[in-house]
Chains A and B, each alone.
Chain A
């Protein structure tokens, strides 16, 4: 089925090497998320898999067959674009029917699949509208509908939620996850938003400048980031990094501690980091305190929503020793 293997895939645009040789295996039925900062080559990698860009060298295998030189339509993949890329002059129905029409499928079967997709995606009442008459979320659903009627080997999503507002994004995130559970088809999903990655993925691939920094399940990456980049990228708010004496005393160049792994106390504690609260964000369930610490700088701390802390308070921070991450000078994690 939808097993995708990248073998030493390299891509350069002219002189610029965007993707250095890269190996990756995507198992059948997996929900894989490519995550990384903007411009790191996520879209390029996805387009290489889709066949919209030619690889400069290396091979792509889909479902056990070498697909490197196959045309996009022959790879059995469906893609949902960031701009949705709906056909503006066609009705929703014709948009969804287009891939089937191109495949020469009998009209009766087309109708059947359209009806099923429309029902699954809540589009039944909108089938005769043009994309211009739909809201962002509905357009997104049409794009997904157009992808699922083809019953592809795998779905490719390129930042599909980035044009939606926050509330809708949470909804669509859920819908896509549910879709994956029902269809059990391989999905490759690109995003720069680590929250999307953490919430949706079976497997996260963290990319930086075309390199794979780490591959693993969300909790693996959260618990055991392989280097400082992954540690800082996964988790929200970001991990705090402390250098110098404190790190050296634990045999590391840098130590990292997540905001949720710091105990905060208003009473003096021996050996604790002393700091003054700057901004504190009260979310209700949690409070995020930005603490200015002498000799360290800004530390993010998560405390309970009921915590009675205010700007200007002096507080004492104690990182939980067993949740500390140690990094060497090269940025790699030191495992004990």
Chain B
């Protein structure tokens, strides 16, 4: 059993990486010319000034999006944790909603809101202010940063909330007593003390932004702004496809993310330097903002409008149109259910939904079971070299979704064991991609199971298998369930890995949305998107309800 898990992990996490590297040194294989060793891909990828531009754009985009998301998330977290802004407990719950909305839908809805031609915000502002040209252009680097940063600000919000909560409030109170005002306390004490968390959060956001595919593809490609992910996609999707070139790009991207992830892990292992100096501090005092608290409440409301209400409203609007039209009295008369009819009569709808459900449930289950064994080996046994296993299983975290898709594609194109083009290749991709998350959930709960609980089972005569099944798994259950829910949700939204691996038979919902976008079927896309978001929302609610019954605590990867 242990052996099987180890082999499985190594197979799934290491081999694609090897093949990616290998492929990046090969020429394209055709029917009569076999592939040979070459450096040409690298020369093509890195030999031109274009690459420098690509690199520079990627960095600017990722940096901008991460800093924007961080600033937004931190200000909100601070307001939520440290001030007496009204309704903030409601806000904490609401802030999680945007994480449920798939990136592609969020991006599409912002196109509908702020594109220069049809963007509602632009048209409204032009009407009000009598402007000649649209004030906002979503198809720009700034637009990309805005959409991506906005969408991932809740992640910064959650991470920084945790950091603020972990801090001894008397450190801030003593600054107040020293005569410092709100801003001096926030700047000179709060922010400095959460510095390790600040850097880690920005790095995580940066890595995530540089992996981001939907936003650069939808907003950047139409106007020729390319980043690594969209360049990889372009290289694969041109004819003839240049997998070697894509691989060479992917290697660079992989390098960046690896450095990022490595720095984060270094940082969090060192981050405890300040943690030793906390007192009993159990009552974070809330700063009384006086009348300003209505202002901060207004910020919350505007933020919520930008991130949930407006995007959803515009999708909803467009989903009741025959052809996309900007809201107006006239358009109001043309409301129709056609897009929904279209969605429900979509030839492969049943199949697609079924694929999505099967994939997300299946990979969540396998991920959680396999990682629980890995985790047990790493945390509980004394097997030598077990840390290698831990690192291998965490390896996929550095893979951007698109790169992972690419390497798996390359591997199974070359090693024909009959999974290419089937749903199994999607399974493999999802499991690989989400294994690190499962691992993290399991490690957290595994660390809390005391060694003696197992030993006493062994003393009672239980075999290893029985102990694992009867003692460890039940104790892990809350953690397993929380992780399962998380993996299920991220898999059902998954797009960037699937996009290189799907075939007509193995389409999933997010792929259909992508295709509708490519075909310009905006209203149909909106209808499907609305249904998808609602379904995801219900799913999360149900999952939380079930989770609460099984004692799942608030926990995040």
A binds B: no
Interface residues of B (CB under 8 A from A): none
Interface residues of A (CB under 8 A from B): none
